[in-house]
Amino acid sequence: MNMEQFRKASLLTAIKTPYTEQGDIDLDCYDALVTQQIAAGVDGIIVGGTTGEGQLLDWEEHLMLIAHSSTKFGDRLLIIGNSGSNNTREAVKATEYGFASGMHGSLQINPYYGKTSDQGVLAHLLKVLDVGPAFIYNVPGRTGQDISPAIIEKLAKHENFIGVKECSGNERIEYYEQRGIACWSGNDNECFEGRHKHASHGVISVTSNIIPGIMRILMDNNEPELNQSVQALMSWLFCEPNPIAINTALMMTKAVLPVFRLPYVPLSQQLREEGMTLLEAVGADNLVGKLPVVLSDDDFLIVV
């Protein structure tokens, strides 16, 4: 896999990890979800990212899912394993295992919670870049620390630097793209303008879990009316911390079993009813799954 192949990918889905009623990873359901992503023309998937609840998977599960995805779908999709960690030793080891299992690239985050200095962020990310091709993920809202342009511009000189998943807005994305640094939007509601007005390489998307075909069109074509038509749905998908709403949506369309791993719990009845209206407006033909149903509180299973 060369850098040009990565950089041609304009739509990458941060794929959902579904569970069985016993709380284990549901591989049959996962395969069905990925197959629908392929049918919609998605270029690749992020395995075990925030949306895929990598934070709730143990490393055995996490690496198994990367290996499974690489073996089953690696000839049809870019497989990007979220092997980042706030522990450099752990991130390096997981990334080495991920590449040994067949993934094409990794997603790397800066140390969170137990934050470090800017010099430490740079040193951490250079260590994981040494292992193999990587997207750098900047999401200050979750990590509490911005990866500044000064850091990214240094990282961009590394031979294994693919680009940035950037959640700080389109002005930052345009800044990078003007300097030849490949950038993908991490904010679905901004990704259309990011692509068509600010020259982003594309999006790493949550919304494409539920409407992959529409997200494909939005990355390929300048259709502002279509973009506007799904803005309310995108807003709803982030009404609670991700991935709560996308999980609930996929359960409402029967695409996955209604099983949550704590600490995530379903959206409230009122929010589910709001989502029902938005999903119906998109149309069943555009949804992953079937026509949505609201579901009752008793329909959900909460596991540890």
pLDDT in tens, 81-98: 999 999 999 999 999 999
Give me the pLDDT at residue 1, please. Answer: 77
> Per the domain annotation, does 258 fall within a domain?
no
* Average pLDDT of the residues in 222-237: 98
Which structure tokens are listed for 142?
């979750």
Read off the pLDDT of residues 261-295 as tens digits, 9 standing for 90 and up.
Answer: 999 999 999 999 999 999 999 999 999 999 999 99
- CATH code (residue 92): 3.20.20.70
CA separation for the pair 263, 216 (Å, rounded):
32
209 assigned to some structural domain: yes
Residue 47 in any domain: the answer is: yes
Specify which residues 205 forms β-bridges with: 13
Q: Which amino acid, 8?
A: K
Residue ranges making up the domain that contains 168: 3-230
Q: Are 255 and 33 in contact (CB under 8 A)?
A: yes
pLDDT in tens, 148-175: 999 999 999 999 999 999 999 999 999 9
Q: Please name which of 39, 54, 25 lies closest in space to residue 288, comparing C-alpha atoms.
A: 39
Active site residues: 137, 165
Residues 6+ apart with CB under 8 A from 226: 214, 217, 218
**Is residue 157 assigned to a domain?**
yes
Ranges assigned E (strand) in the chain: 11-14, 44-47, 78-82, 105-109, 134-138, 161-166, 183-185, 202-205, 259-261, 301-303
Mind listing the pLDDT tens digit for each residue in 116-142? 999 999 999 999 999 999 999 999 999
Could you tell me if residue 91 is inside a domain? yes
Distance, CA of 59 to CA of 62 (rounded, Å): 5
**pLDDT, tens digit (0-9, with 9 covering 90-100), for 192-215:** 999 999 999 999 999 999 999 999
Is 139 a domain residue?
yes
Element (H, E) at 173: helix 170-178
Contacts of 149 (CB under 8 A, 6+ apart): 172, 175, 176
Assess if residue 201 is contained within a domain.
Answer: yes
Of the candidates 150, 140, 193, the one whose C-alpha atom is nearest the C-alpha of residue 170 is 193
230 within 8 A of 282, measured Cβ to Cβ: yes
Q: What is the pLDDT of residue 84?
A: 97
What domain count does the chain have? 1
In a domain, 235, yes or no: no
CB atoms within 10 A of CB 126: 17
